Amino acid sequence: MSNITIDLKSRSDSLNGMAIECNFKGFVLSNDASEYIISVHHGNPINEISKPILINAIWNELLIMKHLPDLNIEIIKKIKISLPKLGEVGNICFNNFKRIELVISNYKFLNLNNLPTNPRCIYITGQIKNKIKNLQSLSGSPVFNNDNKLIGIFCKQMNDEVYILPTYYIIKTLAKKNNDAIYSIDYEEPITKINNMNIYSEDNLYHKSLNSYIPLDVYLMLEGDSGKEVIINNKHNCRLDDIKNLLPITNERNIIKEENKFLVNASLLILLKMINKRIIINFINYIKKNIGKKMYLVINDDNYDSLDIVTEKILYEGEKYSLSIYSE
């Protein structure tokens, strides 16, 4: 019997010997006569992985890899683009078509990887009928409706809810010219219409493909691409801007080292959280107070000059480390 998922393993970039290995799932999707392995990166700065990476998206948590023919893997061909209805039943599927049943409970617009400076994504949330405490190893598994159509990819579990990135994100990620950008627009007047779609209260608009109302910033992230323009208020053509480098915390997909220190970016913070959840709390509080400043992490080194430093000591695989974050 063929499998519906592929077992994947990755290793992160290293922070002076500290690195994280992750086990997760992926599945094979057929799109425009090509086949791809679809999974999630969770913002983790991946250094090594068991399959060749094609797309490591900045604007969502999708990881798309090259698929080599495998007779034991089921190829997913049936998909549903629009969001499932609230109350609809779905299933997280993995391995030999094992299923975890859930009920669609809500749609949420969350900052990517829960970092407040990151762009927002749509997540379908679901309640699992038979409560299971830890589904982390199943992230990257496909989620189907009762018609066996793919409605999204399982990303994470928080409290009693599971979070699913809709299928539309996969299709847009495969179609975009540039997945290494975060798009927005610079327009001084109030926006009442974009691409002939009305903007309603709280900057919401109706997205036909998703069959749902979504915020304008989420729409721009979904539909933005290199060189693309939108029509504002039925009168102005406006080019979408890549604001990735303008964000308070840069949203790179790898850790950046400068001499003996590490630049604080989204991937670094996510790796720190994975290494030790406790240390990230003080660091995040410090970062919120110093938004706009360039911040660095140093390890086991007190030879720098700064008056405002937050330091945490941790034990990692038997070794003691002193981690300090500061701004310049």
Residue 111 to residues 50, 64, 134, 196, 227, Cα–Cα distance (Å): 28, 21, 22, 27, 25
* Residue type at 108 in one-letter notation: K
* Residue type at 49 in one-letter notation: I
The reply to whether 178 falls in a domain is: no
Whether residues 26 and 50 fall in one domain: yes
What pLDDT was estimated at residue 304?
A: 65
Closest alpha carbon to 54 in 168, 179, 165: 179
Sequence-distant (6+) residues with CB within 8 A of 135 are 92, 100, 154, 157, 162
Whether residues 168 and 89 fall in one domain: yes
The reply to whether 193 falls in a domain is: yes
What DSSP state is assigned to residue 244?
G
Neighbours of 120 (CB within 10 A): 16
Of 52, 75, 98, the residue at which a domain comes to its end is: 75
What pLDDT was estimated at residue 179?
A: 95
- Using left for φ > 0, alpha for ψ between -120 and 50, and beta otherwise, residue 42 falls in left
The reply to whether 303 falls in a domain is: yes
| CB-CB contact of 81 with 172 (8 Å) | no
Structure tokens at 120: 């927002």
The reply to whether 22 falls in a domain is: yes
Whether residues 86 and 167 fall in one domain: yes
Whether residues 104 and 162 fall in one domain: yes
Specify the pTM: 0.92
Whether residues 37 and 102 fall in one domain: no
What pLDDT was estimated at residue 69?
A: 79
What pLDDT was estimated at residue 171?
A: 97
Of 60, 75, 90, the residue at which a domain comes to its end is: 75
What pLDDT was estimated at residue 227?
A: 87
The reply to whether 17 falls in a domain is: yes
CATH number for the domain harbouring residue 155 = 2.40.10.10
What pLDDT was estimated at residue 140?
A: 97
The reply to whether 1 falls in a domain is: no
The reply to whether 290 falls in a domain is: yes
Q: Where are the beta strands (DSSP E) in 129-249?
A: 142-145, 150-158, 161-166, 183-184, 193-194, 197-198, 204-207, 212-215, 229-232, 236-239, 241-242
Of 209, 224, 242, the residue at which a domain comes to its end is: 242
The reply to whether 227 falls in a domain is: yes
What pLDDT was estimated at residue 306?
A: 60
Low-confidence ranges of the chain (pLDDT < 70): 1, 71, 133, 304-308
Whether residues 100 and 51 fall in one domain: no
Total domain count for the chain?
A: 4
What pLDDT was estimated at residue 307?
A: 58
Whether residues 53 and 98 fall in one domain: no
Q: Residue 271: which domain range? A: 250-327
What pLDDT was estimated at residue 87?
A: 96
What confidence tens digit (pLDDT) does each residue in 146-163 have?
999 999 999 999 888 999
What pLDDT was estimated at residue 310?
A: 79
Neighbours of 148 (CB within 10 A): 11
What pLDDT was estimated at residue 208?
A: 95
Whether residues 29 and 93 fall in one domain: no
